[in-house]
């Protein structure tokens, strides 16, 4: 099974992930106040905590 390096994925897609996280916060916590950069940094740390350095993914999720 192929593997992806989670830190590289998060760093590569940081703007897209941050936008998705902000959109989610607007939907689920519309009155919350937060710094978007701090929120994303915390999110990224939690991803690293919950995932292995190299995370297995199905072959159909990878295109080379």
Average of per-residue pLDDT across 8-17: 97
> Quick check: helix, strand or coil at residue 63?
coil
pTM score: 0.85
The confidence score (pLDDT) of residue 15 equals: 97
Query: Average pLDDT, whole number, for the chain?
Result: 97
Average of per-residue pLDDT across 18-47: 97
In terms of Cα–Cα distance, which of 43, 38, 48 is closest to 17? 43
Reported as a pLDDT band with limits 50, 70 and 90, residue 64 is confident
Average of per-residue pLDDT across 57-61: 96
How far CA 37 is from CA of 14, 40, 59, in Å, comes to 10, 5, 33
The confidence score (pLDDT) of residue 32 equals: 97
């Amino acid at each position: 099974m192929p593997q992806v390096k989670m830190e590289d994925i998060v760093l590569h897609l940081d703007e897209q992930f941050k936008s998705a996280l902000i959109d989610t916060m607007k939907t689920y916590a519309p009155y919350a106040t937060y710094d978007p950069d701090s929120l994303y940094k915390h999110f990224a740390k939690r991803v690293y905590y919950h995932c292995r350095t190299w995370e297995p993914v199905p072959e159909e999720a990878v295109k080379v």
